[in-house]
Homo-oligomer: A and B are copies of this chain.
Amino acid sequence: MVTVGIKEVARRAGVSPGTVSNVLNRPERVAAATRSRVEQAIRELGFVRNGSASTLRAGQSRAVGLVVLDVGNPFFVEVARGVEDVVSDRDHAVILCNSGESPEKETRNLRVLAEQRVRGVLITPAGDDVSGLGRLRERGVAVVFVDHSASGDVCSVAVDDVAGGELAVRHLIGNGARRLAFVSGSKAIRQCGDRRRGALRALETSGLPPGTLADVVVPEMNAHGGQHAARTLLDEGLPDAVFCANDLLALGVLRVLLQAGVRVPEDVALIGYDDIEFSSAAAVPLSSIRQPTYQLGKIATELLLDECDDPDGHAHQQIMFQPELVVRESSG
């Protein structure tokens, strides 16, 4: 490995290593003539700064971590785009980690991020045990929750999932549904729990008993899980309407129902959550609950970097967006 360091550049340009460092980090402090001589030496030698040494010396890197539940879910991809845009504007980098809804993988990811000495972490927690994050914060790493509301001493950016669930189910009931199913992942996932509570609240408002809502829990919140759920529903008797905790589930449910000859929405109404791009292009265009996804990532990152830049003057904020009902054919 050919390693050309700052001091070889210095020798070539006839200056001291310190000056090269200044050219790199505070160009205004070095005379124009010297600067251009150094810059030329850098080009000629193909020097690229060693980020590790830099980070080591500085005590922290110019990177933030983003830990999401599922990189395969377009919802998180859109969040990531929001993060990426802000982060690269501020000349930082983002390390994207996937927890796959597994607390163990999440812990592993956080350890890697801690080792990398990231300035901060954006995370959608996989479980409700946030003690690992507490330890991270004690070490001076800023943390912002994404799509997850938090209490007063930490920033968070979320969407009101209870309201979303209520919106979805109120809509289904309004269209005449009396027996409902809720398809979701593990109840340990907050989003699922909240959306379910919203659903129950809608039932209550309409004077329907809570037993009206049958729970179908699947191991993975993707299309595969949805297909699994649909087969369960077919076995155990179809409801009037199905509310899925996200669009991937709904797409999976839809596919199996159609294959089985069930008409949507005539026989069974269907609504998803997240309003990902593919939903409107589905076999039966999918009703859904829309969230300001890109904004979620963008604002979370701004909060995070603000906290990093001024840890003391920073006031923690909990931001809560409202979701929006999008009606398409599947619940027509």
Please give the residue numbers on chain A whose beta carbons come within 8 Å of chain B beta carbons, in ascending order. Answer: 1-3, 46, 48-56, 59-61, 71-72, 74, 77-78, 80-81, 84, 88, 93, 95-96, 98, 108, 111-112, 114-117, 135, 138-140, 223, 251-252, 254-255, 277-278, 280-285
Cβ contact within 8 Å between B46 and A135: yes
The smallest C-beta distance from A218 to any residue of chain B, in angstroms, reads 16
Cβ contact within 8 Å between B277 and A223: yes
Cβ contact within 8 Å between B52 and A116: yes
Stoichiometry (number of copies): 2
Question: Can you identify 20 A-B contacts, CB atoms within 8 angstroms?
Answer: A1-B59, A1-B140, A46-B139, A48-B111, A50-B56, A51-B52, A51-B117, A52-B52, A52-B53, A52-B116, A52-B117, A54-B115, A71-B80, A84-B98, A88-B108, A223-B277, A223-B278, A251-B281, A255-B280, A283-B285
The smallest C-beta distance from A263 to any residue of chain B, in angstroms, reads 15
How far does the alpha carbon of A50 sit from the alpha carbon of B55 in the complex, in Å?
A: 10
The smallest C-beta distance from A66 to any residue of chain B, in angstroms, reads 10
Which of A95, A254, A284 has the most B CB atoms < 10 Å from its CB? A95
Given contacts A1-B139, A56-B50, contact A254 B281 (CB under 8 A): yes
How far does the alpha carbon of A93 sit from the alpha carbon of B280 in the complex, in Å?
A: 36
The smallest C-beta distance from A253 to any residue of chain B, in angstroms, reads 10
Cβ contact within 8 Å between A48 and B115: yes
Q: Which residues of B contact A117 (CB under 8 A)?
A: 50-52
Q: Which residues of B contact A48 (CB under 8 A)?
A: 111, 114-115
Q: Which residues of B contact A282 (CB under 8 A)?
A: 281-283
How far does the alpha carbon of A77 sit from the alpha carbon of B71 in the complex, in Å?
A: 7
Q: Could you say which of B56, B74, B283 contacts A53, with CB atoms under 8 Å apart?
A: B56
Cβ contact within 8 Å between A52 and B46: no
Cβ contact within 8 Å between B112 and A93: yes
Cβ contact within 8 Å between B115 and A49: yes
Which residue on chain B has the smallest CB distance to residue A49?
A: B115
| A-B pairs with lowest CB-CB distance, top 8 | A1-B140, A51-B115, A52-B55, A52-B56, A52-B52, A278-B278, A48-B114, A255-B281
Q: Which residues of B contact A115 (CB under 8 A)?
A: 48-51, 54
Q: Could you say which of B2, B114, B280 contacts A138, with CB atoms under 8 Å apart?
A: B2
How far does the alpha carbon of A3 sit from the alpha carbon of B114 in the complex, in Å?
A: 11
Q: Which residues of B contact A59 (CB under 8 A)?
A: 1, 3
How far does the alpha carbon of A60 sit from the alpha carbon of B3 in the complex, in Å?
A: 11
Q: Which residues of B contact A77 (CB under 8 A)?
A: 71-72, 77
Q: Which residues of B contact A46 (CB under 8 A)?
A: 135, 139
How far does the alpha carbon of A281 sit from the alpha carbon of B54 in the complex, in Å?
A: 49
Which residue on chain B has the smallest CB distance to residue A46?
A: B135
How far does the alpha carbon of A264 sit from the alpha carbon of B114 in the complex, in Å?
A: 52
Which residue on chain B has the smallest CB distance to residue A53?
A: B56
The smallest C-beta distance from A5 to any residue of chain B, in angstroms, reads 11
Q: Which residues of B contact A285 (CB under 8 A)?
A: 283
Q: Which residues of B contact A284 (CB under 8 A)?
A: 283
Besides the known contacts A3-B59, A52-B117, A251-B278, 20 further A-B residue pairs in the complex with CB atoms under 8 A apart: A1-B60, A46-B139, A50-B56, A50-B117, A51-B112, A51-B115, A51-B116, A54-B115, A56-B56, A71-B71, A71-B80, A95-B95, A96-B96, A223-B278, A223-B281, A251-B281, A255-B281, A281-B282, A283-B284, A283-B285
